[in-house]
A and B are shown apart, each in its own frame.
Chain A
Amino acid sequence: MMPQVITIKKSAEEGIKEFCKVLLQSKKVAGVLALTRKNRSAYYSLVTDPAKMDETTPLAPVMPANAATLLSRLTWEEGPPQPIAAVVRPCEERAFIERIKLQQGTFKNLYIISMTCGGVFPLKLLAQGEIENNLPQYYASLNKAETVENIRDVCKGCVHFIPCNADFTIDMLGRNNDSECAMVVNTDRGEELIKGIEYSIEKRDTPLLRGHEDKKMKGLIEHREKVGEQFYGEYHFGEPGMAGLSSALYKCVGCHSCSRACPICYCNLCNFNSEQHDTRFSKFASQLRKSGSVRVPPDTMLFHIGRLNHVSISCVGCGMCEDVCPVNIPLGTLFSEISKALQSIFDYVSGKNPDEDIPVSTFEEEELTQVQ
Chain B
Amino acid sequence: MKGGILNPDNGFEAAVKNFLKDVMEKADIDALLLPFKNAVGDSFEWRLVTADKLAEASVVPPVIAVNGARALSSITRSGKSAMKIAALMRPCEARAAIELSKLNQCDLEPVVLISMDCPGAMPLQDYIADPEKVEKEFEHAAREWNNELIRPICRMCDIFTCTESTWCDADIHVALPETENNAVAFISNTDKGREVLEKVGIGREEELGDWQKKMNARIEERKAARKKAREELKQHVTGLNSLSDTFGSCINCQVCRSVCPVCYCRQCLFNSVKVHYAPDDYLLQAESKGTMKFTPDTLLFQTGRMTHMSVSCVGCGACEDCCPMDIKVAQIFSIAADETQKLFDYIPGKRDAPPPLRVYNEQELKEYET
The answer to whether A and B touch in the complex, with CB atoms under 8 Å apart, is yes
The interface of chain A, by Cβ under 8 A from chain B, is 30-31, 33, 36, 38, 40-49, 51-52, 55, 64-65, 69-70, 73-77, 79-82, 84, 123-124, 126-128, 246-247, 250-251, 253-257, 260-261, 268-269, 273-275, 278-282, 284-285, 288, 292-298, 323-324, 326-328
B residues in contact with A278, CB < 8 Å: 77-78
A residues in contact with B280, CB < 8 Å: 80-81
What are 8 residue pairs bridging A and B, where the CB atoms are less than 8 Å apart in the complex? Answer: A42-B251, A82-B283, A84-B283, A124-B324, A250-B39, A250-B40, A296-B75, A327-B65
B residues in contact with A48, CB < 8 Å: 283, 286-287, 290-291
Inter-subunit contact A38/B294 (CB<8 Å) = no
B residues in contact with A55, CB < 8 Å: 291
Inter-subunit contact A255/B291 (CB<8 Å) = no
Inter-subunit contact B283/A80 (CB<8 Å) = yes
Inter-subunit contact B291/A52 (CB<8 Å) = yes
Tell me, yes or no, whether B322 is within 8 Å of chain A by CB: yes
Inter-subunit contact B279/A75 (CB<8 Å) = yes
**In the bound complex, what is the Cα–Cα distance between A367 and B283 (angstroms)?**
47
**In the bound complex, what is the Cα–Cα distance between A254 and B66 (angstroms)?**
8
Inter-subunit contact B278/A76 (CB<8 Å) = yes
**In the bound complex, what is the Cα–Cα distance between A261 and B322 (angstroms)?**
14
B residues in contact with A123, CB < 8 Å: 251, 324-325
Tell me, yes or no, whether B125 is within 8 Å of chain A by CB: yes
Task: Given A257-B258, A293-B47, decide whether A298 and B253 contact each other with a Cβ distance below 8 A.
Answer: no
List which B248-300 residues lie within 8 A (CB) of chain A.
248-249, 251-255, 258-259, 266-267, 271-273, 276, 278-280, 282-283, 286-287, 289-295
**In the bound complex, what is the Cα–Cα distance between A40 and B295 (angstroms)?**
16
Tell me, yes or no, whether B314 is within 8 Å of chain A by CB: no
A residues in contact with B65, CB < 8 Å: 251, 253, 327
Inter-subunit contact B279/A296 (CB<8 Å) = no
New A-B contacts (14) at CB < 8 Å, excluding given A250-B39, A255-B322, A326-B255: A42-B251, A49-B291, A65-B251, A80-B279, A81-B280, A256-B258, A260-B258, A281-B76, A282-B79, A285-B83, A288-B49, A293-B49, A295-B46, A326-B124
A residues in contact with B50, CB < 8 Å: 288, 292-293
Inter-subunit contact B33/A43 (CB<8 Å) = no
**In the bound complex, what is the Cα–Cα distance between A326 and B295 (angstroms)?**
21
Inter-subunit contact A297/B70 (CB<8 Å) = yes
Minimum CB–CB distance from A271 to chain B (whole Å) comes to 11
Inter-subunit contact B321/A250 (CB<8 Å) = no
Contact among A52, A76, A260 for B290, CB-based, below 8 A: A52
A residues in contact with B278, CB < 8 Å: 76-77
**In the bound complex, what is the Cα–Cα distance between A42 and B124 (angstroms)?**
24
Task: Given A52-B290, A126-B249, A261-B253, decide whether A281 and B47 contact each other with a Cβ distance below 8 A.
Answer: no
Tell me, yes or no, whether B74 is within 8 Å of chain A by CB: yes
The interface of chain B, by Cβ under 8 A from chain A, is 31, 33, 38-40, 42-43, 45-50, 52-53, 65-66, 70-72, 74-83, 124-125, 128-129, 248-249, 251-255, 258-259, 266-267, 271-273, 276, 278-280, 282-283, 286-287, 289-295, 321-326
A residues in contact with B80, CB < 8 Å: 281
Minimum CB–CB distance from B270 to chain A (whole Å) comes to 11
B residues in contact with A41, CB < 8 Å: 248-249
A residues in contact with B282, CB < 8 Å: 46, 73-74, 80
A residues in contact with B292, CB < 8 Å: 45-46
Contact among B45, B53, B81, B266 for A281, CB-based, below 8 A: B81
Inter-subunit contact A127/B322 (CB<8 Å) = no
Inter-subunit contact A250/B46 (CB<8 Å) = no
Minimum CB–CB distance from B71 to chain A (whole Å) comes to 5
Please give me the residue from chain B that is nearest to A327 by CB atom: B128
Please give me the residue from chain B that is nearest to A81 by CB atom: B280
**In the bound complex, what is the Cα–Cα distance between A285 and B322 (angstroms)?**
31
A residues in contact with B79, CB < 8 Å: 280-282
Minimum CB–CB distance from B125 to chain A (whole Å) comes to 6
Contact among A69, A79, A250 for B43, CB-based, below 8 A: A250
**In the bound complex, what is the Cα–Cα distance between A76 and B275 (angstroms)?**
13
Inter-subunit contact A253/B66 (CB<8 Å) = yes
Inter-subunit contact B45/A295 (CB<8 Å) = yes
Inter-subunit contact B128/A328 (CB<8 Å) = yes
> Which of the listed residues B82, B276, B292 has the most CB atoms from chain A within 10 Å of its own CB?
B292
Inter-subunit contact A296/B48 (CB<8 Å) = yes
Minimum CB–CB distance from B178 to chain A (whole Å) comes to 32
Inter-subunit contact B259/A255 (CB<8 Å) = yes
Minimum CB–CB distance from A187 to chain B (whole Å) comes to 21
A residues in contact with B273, CB < 8 Å: 268
Please give me the residue from chain A that is nearest to B124 by CB atom: A326
Inter-subunit contact B291/A47 (CB<8 Å) = yes
**In the bound complex, what is the Cα–Cα distance between A288 and B81 (angstroms)?**
13
Contact among B74, B83, B325, B326 for A279, CB-based, below 8 A: B74
A residues in contact with B251, CB < 8 Å: 42-43, 64-65, 123, 324
B residues in contact with A274, CB < 8 Å: 266
**In the bound complex, what is the Cα–Cα distance between A20 and B357 (angstroms)?**
49
B residues in contact with A128, CB < 8 Å: 326
Contact among A38, A43, A268, A281 for B78, CB-based, below 8 A: A281
**In the bound complex, what is the Cα–Cα distance between A102 and B293 (angstroms)?**
26
Inter-subunit contact B290/A30 (CB<8 Å) = no
Inter-subunit contact B49/A292 (CB<8 Å) = yes
A residues in contact with B33, CB < 8 Å: 296
Inter-subunit contact B43/A251 (CB<8 Å) = yes
**In the bound complex, what is the Cα–Cα distance between A123 and B42 (angstroms)?**
22
